[in-house]
């Protein structure tokens, strides 16, 4: 069978296996097995939609109703939702409770405070927010995802980029997603190279005007804002424990040692200053799941204890703690998929390495 045929049929075959596993009880057997008891599920999320973000990018945003359904499944199925650091310690020592899981959120979007945190408090579930700090406190939307969103929002309009970016460009009404994202990537690359945060904000407003999108509403609803320092403190003091950990300062993984260490130490200093605590955060999430072997060496130098990736799988004591597997939940995944992931059934099937869809490389 051709590789292209295998790739086309693999998702359908997996869905069928997951469905059969749920119907026959095989998923429950694996969930309660000694094998599963030696493994930790690390769940990863990005944003919980405040408006239509999940329709735009279901890999980056999920509806709050879906997060509620996931929490209810975890509660009914008897999962032990643990804080990150104790969970990793128990994993290394071989004393995890049965059906152990950790819930993580990348980036530190405002919607964690508005949507996820109240829900997690209802269930009493601990969580970890991996916070990028460049936009934290600026009260400006993060430009990169905002740019892609604006072009998607105005997809039924003709959008002329002339005078906004070099060589201009026109997006005709109804243009396909591939061309729309190509143009958005071009705008983001220009802005990254030449503009500061405030200048990017002005550019985003100009794009929104040409796309006939209500920019003020996006800003008012904070669709792409990160947490403010006060909100970070509120999350850390939540009745459901929320740990604030590292995600680099500008959501970047430089290949130069000095720049990488600066990213981590700046990120760490901002978090410590916001929380007013002497203990430095020591757990890192790789932005967009991107890392190289050199980064693991530099992480050890700066006292980082763990790193999480976007490589799907359950974590075991045999894994390198600096590059642990993690399942990224998405709006397009069914209840059977989630059951298979949480129980461990999905871990028995072949997996392809990937970077979480919707990832963006730099928050600056």
Say if domain 3-138+226-348 classifies as CATH 3.40.50.720: no
Mean pLDDT for 348-353 is 64
Please give the backbone phi and psi of residue 131, each rounded to the nearest 5 degrees, phi first.
-100, 120
- What residue has token string 């030449």? 194
**Averaged pLDDT for residues 316-339:** 96
In the chain, the largest separation of any two C-alpha atoms, in whole Å, equals 62
Single out the residue of 191, 187, 193 nearest to residue 210, CA to CA: 187
Which of the residue ranges 10-19, 227-236, 237-246 would you say has the lowest mean pLDDT? 10-19
Q: What is the mean pLDDT of residues 274-291?
A: 94
- pLDDT at residue 355 in the model: 39
How confident is the model over 133-141, as a mean pLDDT? 94
pTM attached to this predicted model? 0.92
Q: Got the DSSP string for 30-49?
A: HHTSHHHHT-BEEEEE-EE-
Give 107's contacts (C-beta < 8 A, 6+ positions apart): 46, 47, 130, 131, 132, 142, 226, 247, 251, 363
Distance CA 110, CA 7 (A): 37
In 158-302, the DSSP E strands lie at 159-160, 170-171, 242-246, 283-285
Report the pLDDT value the prediction gives residue 26, as an integer from 0 to 100. 81
Report which DSSP code applies to 264. Answer: H
Predicted confidence at residue 27, as pLDDT, reads 87
How far apart (Å, rounded) are the C-alpha atoms in residues 5 and 186? 33
In the prediction, which pLDDT does 199 show? 97
What is the per-residue pLDDT for 21? 59
């Amino acid at each position: 069978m051709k590789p292209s045929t295998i790739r086309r049929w693999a998702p359908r075959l997996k869905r069928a296996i997951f469905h059969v596993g749920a119907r026959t009880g095989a998923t429950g057997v694996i969930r309660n097995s000694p094998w599963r008891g030696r493994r930790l599920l690390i769940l990863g999320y990005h944003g919980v939609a405040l408006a239509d973000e999940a329709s735009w990018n279901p890999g980056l945003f999920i509806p709050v109703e879906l997060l509620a359904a996931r929490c209810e499944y975890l509660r009914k199925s008897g999962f032990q939702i643990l804080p990150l650091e104790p969970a990793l310690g128990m994993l290394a020592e071989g004393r995890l409770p049965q059906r152990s899981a950790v819930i993580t959120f990348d980036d530190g979007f405002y919607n964690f405070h508005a949507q996820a945190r109240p829900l997690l408090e209802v269930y009493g579930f601990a969580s970890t927010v991996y916070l990028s700090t460049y936009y934290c406190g600026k009260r400006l939307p993060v430009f990169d995802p905002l740019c892609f969103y604006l072009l998607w929002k105005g997809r039924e309009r003709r959008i002329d980029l002339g005078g906004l970016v070099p060589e201009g460009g026109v997006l005709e009404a109804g243009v396909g997603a591939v061309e729309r994202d190509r143009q958005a990537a071009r705008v983001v690359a220009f802005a990254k190279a030449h503009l500061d945060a405030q200048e990017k904000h002005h550019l985003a407003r100009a794009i929104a005007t040409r796309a006939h999108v209500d920019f003020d509403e996006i800003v008012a609803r904070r669709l792409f804002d990160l947490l403010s320092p006060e909100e970070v403190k509120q999350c850390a003091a939540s009745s459901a424990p929320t740990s604030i950990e590292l995600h680099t300062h500008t959501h970047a993984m430089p290949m130069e040692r000095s720049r990488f260490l600066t990213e981590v130490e700046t990120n760490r200093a901002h978090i410590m200053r916001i929380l007013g605590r002497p203990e430095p955060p020591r757990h890192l999430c790789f932005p967009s799941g991107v890392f190289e072997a050199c980064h693991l060496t530099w992480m050890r130098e700066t006292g980082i204890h763990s790193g999480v990736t976007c490589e799907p799988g359950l974590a075991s004591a045999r894994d390198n703690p600096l590059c642990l597997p993690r399942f990224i939940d998405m709006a397009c995944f069914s209840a059977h998929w989630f059951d298979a992931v949480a129980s461990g059934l999905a871990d028995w099937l072949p997996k392809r390495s990937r970077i979480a869809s919707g990832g963006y490389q730099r928050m600056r």
